[in-house]
């Protein structure tokens, strides 16, 4: 399964231990669980947001590790042409464009306006799909009872 991880999912995973953390950990622990797809715009957004003072509580090495892991191990594609108006938030139109250009299975996001764009698997669905790919015995499934668990 190939997915676009919205920067809000990665950041949430770094600050909480809910569903987004389980989704992130699933990939860190087993790269075959799913493949994040990224592009320069997404990595730049993530780096910019993680540099905000409100995320100073996240250790600098943790922030850098997340960026390095995505840069090194995710599927990297060039920035897609952005279709203005794909979402209610013009700053996120590139995520839908990326999803379409890379023909991914979904965008994992906590933003309702991206979910309304119709390209998206919820955070819980993504975790469950990753668990199904892992086969029986995975214990992360129990953390995905609701998309609000982050």
Tens digit of pLDDT at every position of the chain (150 positions) = 899 999 999 999 999 988 889 889 999 999 888 999 999 999 999 999 999 999 999 999 999 999 999 999 999 999 999 888 888 888 888 998 999 899 998 888 888 777 666 656 565 566 555 555 555 444 433 222 222 333
Q: Is residue 60 in a domain?
A: yes
Does residue 37 lie within any of the structural domains? yes
Residue 116: give the domain boundaries: 2-134
Distance, C-alpha 109 to centroid of its chain: 6
Q: How far is CA 40 from the centre of its chain?
A: 14
- Specify whether the CB–CB gap between 23 and 123 falls below 8 A: yes
d(CA 57, CA 53): 8
Structural domain contains residue 64: yes
Q: Look at residues 70, 56, 134, 62 and name the one whose alpha carbon lies nearest to residue 144.
A: 134
Number of domains within the chain: 1
Tell whether 27 is covered by a domain.
Answer: yes
- Specify the pTM: 0.79
Tallying the residues shown for the chain, one arrives at 150
Q: Does residue 150 form part of some domain?
A: no
- The C-alpha angle 128, 130, 135, rounded to 5 degrees, equals 90
- Please tell me the distance from the alpha carbon of residue 94 to that of residue 33, in angstroms, as a whole number: 25
CATH code where residue 29 lies: 3.40.50.1010
Question: Can you point out the beta strands (E) in 6-114?
Answer: 35-38, 75-76, 106-108
Whole-angstrom distance, CA of residue 55 vs CA of residue 3: 25
């Amino acid at each position: 399964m190939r997915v676009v991880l919205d920067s809000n999912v990665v950041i949430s995973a770094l600050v909480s231990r809910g569903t987004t953390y389980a989704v992130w950990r699933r990939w860190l622990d087993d790269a075959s669980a799913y493949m994040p797809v990224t592009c320069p715009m997404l990595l730049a957004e993530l780096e910019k947001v993680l540099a905000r003072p409100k995320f100073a509580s996240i250790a600098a090495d943790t922030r850098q590790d997340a960026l390095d892991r995505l840069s090194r191990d995710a599927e990297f594609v060039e920035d897609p042409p952005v279709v203005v108006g794909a979402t209610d938030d013009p700053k996120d139109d590139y995520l839908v464009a990326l999803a379409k250009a890379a023909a991914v299975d979904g965008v994992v996001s906590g933003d309702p306006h991206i979910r309304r764009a119709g390209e998206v698997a919820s955070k819980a669905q993504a975790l469950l799909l990753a668990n199904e790919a892992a086969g029986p015995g995975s214990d992360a499934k129990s953390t995905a009872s609701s998309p609000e668990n982050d």
